[in-house]
Structures are given as structure tokens and as C-alpha cells.
Homo-oligomer: A and B are copies of this chain.
Amino acid sequence: MTDLSVRIGDITLANPIMPGSGTLAEGMADVFDLSRLGAIVTKTFTDDLREGNAPPRVAELQNSTLFSIGIPSKGTDYYLNKTVPFYQKFNTPIVASISADTTEGFGALAAKLSDSGVVAIEANISCPNLKKDGLAFGMDPVATEEVIRAMKAATHLPVWAKLSPNVGDIAVIARAAENGGADALVTANAMLAMAIDIETWQPRVANLMGGITGPATKPVIMRMVYQCAQAVSIPVIGCGGVSNAADAIEYMLAGATAVQMGTQSFVQPTAMVKLLDDLTAYCERRGIAKVSKLTGAMRMFSPEQLARQGSL
């Protein structure tokens, strides 16, 4: 029987599969037993109440979706009194995803979660700040480091930095988060994108830009996960277009310790459970006793192999 457990800093998860923030809600408990998940990452909330963006909020693209949700939030009290208790019915560690407008806001909100029952806090520093033409904390290494540092000063809980993919050199941001004290990286949030209806000549989401998610984004985020894993010594959690066990394995080979599934759960709500079954079967077929052995196990082409394949 394959050991599916993985360690993210001081936390041991029963398996490496968890939902990406914003892709699981109470309704998923109607579909399968959430206790099967390695962790439950909840939807990003802010301390204040927010309604989010105007609809249309979603456009269907090829093998992907364009979402422009904003961060609708019912605030901290709702999160502590309703959301956490709901998920505590399941035997699965809860990870809170938070957002704030300022470094101090991230710290203050982290402090409020210290005794909430969550096992870690994911800092959503990467959700495109559409009001700034897509610029966000996560696009700036200094802001990234400051946010993580403020959260670590405010709480004893582990802090995961969810990076923005909308950067030139993700390794720089990864190191900034590590320097700030991050216990893990989540690579990455949605890529800033746009689509226009050629009949109406209007943007396909009301807010003009949104985040593209789904299988189409996987190869770019795969590269970023590899670059992050090369750049830091903290665990990297892969997140981008994971649809099945093959995708999860690919991310782990690239250096991820765990993976988050997002958009595929919208299409196939049982996908995380199926992924776990298929991941187990893969490990058994390949004689892999511990799934954690996959992390960073990619093998480069050897010089001999390149020669055989026709390299010069």
C-alpha cells in the first residue's frame, strides 16, 4: 500500500491533493466525503464584507476558463463562526486563504485566525488586482516579503505564499517569500488574461480582465513550479490546470510536494477523488512506496542519451 502522506513544513497531510482556493465550497460535501482530501483550502476572504465584481464573471475558453470574480467576502466573523465549523466536521486539515489591501491588513487578519482551528494560512497575494491593471503584491518581491513577514509576526500558524504567475522571474518572488518566512509556496494563481466578443465588441467578462485557469495554463505553471523548487528549500505546492493524476504526478516530478486542483472540480466535482485513486494505482504499478519520492524526481536527458537521440 502506497504511503500517500506528504509534509508541508511542520504539517503532515494524509495525501498531496487539496482544492485550490475558491474551487471548493459547502456544496462539494454533497458530492463526496471531504475527509478524503489532504487538506481543505477555503475560498479567499477579506476582513471586510465585499460583493465582488459585476457579472458576467466567467467566459469559457478553449480548455480553460476566464474568471473575474473579485473577492466576494462575508468577512472574518462569518468565516470563524460558519465556515470553519462546517469543514471541521471532516477529518481534514483546514487551510485559510486570506487577502487584504495592505501589509498590515494581512498581518491583522492572520492574527485573528491564530486560534481558529485552521492549520495554516495561505496568503493570496496573487489574485490580480484589477483596479491596478493587474498589478498585485505578488508581482513585487519587496511587497511579497513584507506581507509574509507581517503575517509570520502576527501568528504562530504556518504561512503559505500563493504566488502570482504574472511575473518575469518567479524565482525572485519565490526567494522573497522564503526570506519573509513562508513555510511553503503555492505556485501559482491564475494568469491575467482577456477575451473580447467579436460580435458585441465588448469584453467577455465585465471587469475586462480576469484570470485564465484550466488545463491550458499547466505548461507555463509547470515551468514556474520547477523554477520555484530550484530556487527555494521550502515545499512548493503546484497549482495550475491539474485535471487528473497524470497532471499531479507531472507537477510532483517538477518539484511540487503537493498539488491543488481547481477548475477541473468545476467540470468534474469528483475529480480530486478520482485523482487520488489513480495516483495510488500509478504508485503501485511503478512500485513507488511513498508518493513523496516523486517530488523533484524528474531526470534530465543525459549527454549520452542526447547523443543517441541525435544531438550534436
Contacts and interface: CB of A to CB of B under 8 A. Distances in A.
Contact of A193 (B64, B194, B220): B220
Contacts of A193: 219-220, 222-223
A310 B54 contact: yes
Interface in A138-170: 139, 166-169
A81 interface: no
A220 B215 contact: no
B66 A63 contact: no
A215 B62 contact: yes
Nearest to A205: B301
Interface stretch (A84-92, A113-121, A196-204, A267-275): A196-204
A125 B223 CA distance: 20
Number of copies: 2
A39 to B, nearest CB: 23
A168 B227 CA distance: 16
Contacts of A202: 298-301
Contacts of A61: 218-219
Contacts of A298: 196, 201-203
Contacts of A222: 193-196
Contacts of A139: 168-169
Interface of A: 51, 54-56, 61-64, 66, 133-135, 139, 166-169, 171, 191-196, 198, 200-203, 206, 208-209, 212, 215-220, 222-223, 226-227, 246, 249-250, 253-254, 282, 297-301, 306, 309-312
